[in-house]
Structure 1
Amino acid sequence: MRRQTSTSGINPAGSSRALRLDPLSLPVSFAAHDIRADGGVRQIELHRERVVLRRAVHGMRMAINVRVSDFLGIAMRENSDGQMLVLVHRDPSLSIPLCVSAEREEIASAWQMWSDIFSLPQLHDATREPAPRRRRRNVIRARRPKFLVRRRAGGLLNPAGNYQGEREIIARD
C-alpha cells in the first residue's frame, strides 16, 4: 500500500489559499480546479517520476499519465492570494498548482525544493505562450510503396546487353 496524503475542505486545491504540498511526502493525491471537467474538479496524483490527472468531461472519465520529465519546469506566478508555484507543462491545461502562499520566503524555499525533487529548472517567465507544435517528418513517405515491397528487386541477367557467341537476328522494316 502506498502512502498518500490529500487536502480536504470545501475549496478544491487549486483555488484554496492553504495549498501547500510537501515535496518530501510524495506520492500525494489532491483535487484541483479544472473549468473543463465535470464538477469543475480534477484529481491529481503526483509521484516523483509521473503525474496522473483524472477527470470526467461530459460523462467520459479519463486518466492522463504524464512523465515529470515532460514538464518544462517549476514557475512562480502572481495571483490574487499572493504567489503560486506551478508545475508548468507545454499544454497549459496540464499545468499543476503546487503551492499558494503570501509569504515570499516560503515560496522561495518551496520553489527550490520542488525544483530539486523533480530535477526541473526554475522558470522565471511563466506567462509565455506555449511553444508551437513541432512538425513531424512524414515517415511513410520515406518507405517504398506497398506494391514494390511485395516484389523482389531482381538483378538483370545481362545488364550491358552484350551478347557474345550468338548470331543476332534483326528485323528491318
Structure 2
Amino acid sequence: MRRQTATGGSNSAGSGRSLRLDPPSLPVSFSTHDIRADGGVRQVELHRERVVLRRAVRGMRMAVNVRVSDFRGIALRESDSVHMLVLVHRDPSLSVPLCISADDDEIEAAWTMWSEIFALPQLQDTTKEAAPRRRRRNAIRSRRPRFLMRRRVGDLLNGATIHRGEREIIARN
C-alpha cells in the first residue's frame, strides 16, 4: 500500500520525515512505523467513523477495528523543529500519526481540519501515554463473602451487658 499525500501523489512508507494526509479525501490507507509488528510496519485505514489497524506479530496477522469516538483527541507533539499530529488513543499502541511537518501554519490548519472531521478535541503534547490500570473487581478481599451477604448480621451477645473492670460474684447452687 502507498501513503496518500495532500497533493494526491504517493510516497513509500519509509521515505522522508514528511507525512501529509488529506482529511476531506477519507477513507485513506497508508503505512506507518510500528516497532512491535513484523517488519516494523503496520497498515492503517482511516474512515470518518472508524480506524482499522492491520499488522502481523510473530507471523500472526491481525486487524484491529477501533471507533473514532474511542480516541481521546488530536494531539500536537513537538520535537526540535518537527511538529506531528497524532490521533491519540488511551492505549498508546493504537495511536495513529496524521501529519508530520516543520511548517507551523500547515500544522495549525491540519490540526483544526482533523479535529472538525473526527469531532474530537484538540490536545496539546500528551507525552504521558499509558493510562493507569483499572482496579480489578476482586481487589477488596476483606469484605464478607457473597453467600454471607444474604444473611442478617446477628448479635453475638444477644443483648447481654458486659461489665468491665468490676469483680463479679457467681453463685452456684
Same fold (TM over 0.5): yes
Q: How does 1:74-153 map to 2 (within 5 A)?
A: 74-79=74-79, 82-135=82-135, 137=137
The Cα shift of 1:135 comes to 3.0
Change (3 A) 1:5 1:32: closer
Runs (5+) with no aligned partner, structure 2 = 5-9, 139-145, 148-173
In the TM superposition, what is the alpha-carbon distance from 1:29 to its structure 2 partner?
Answer: 0.3
Per-residue CA distance 1:83-111 (angstroms, 9 max, x = gap): 00000011111110000110101000100
Distance verdict in 2 for CA 1:94–1:113, change over 3 Å: same
**C-alpha deviation, 1:125, in angstroms:** 3.6
TM superposition score normalised by structure 2: 0.70
The structure 1 segments of at least 4 consecutive aligned residues displaced by more than 6 Å after TM superposition are none
Tell me by how many angstroms 1:128 deviates.
1.9
Residue in 2 that maps onto 1:24: 24
Asked if 2 retains the 8 angstrom alpha-carbon contact of 1:81 and 1:100, the reply is no
Residues 45 and 53 of structure 2 are in contact (CA less than 8 Å); yes or no, is this contact kept in structure 1? yes
Q: State the SS of the aligned residue for 2:132.
A: coil
Q: CA RMSD in A?
A: 2.2
State the TM-score, normalizing by the size of structure 1.
Answer: 0.70
- Structure 2 CA distance, aligned partners of 1:80 and 1:11? 22
Over the matched positions of the two proteins, sequence identity in percent amounts to 72
* Native 8 Å contact 2:48 2:68 kept in 1: yes
How far residue 130 of structure 1 moved from its aligned partner, in angstroms, is 2.4
Gaps of 5+ in 1: 139-143, 146-173
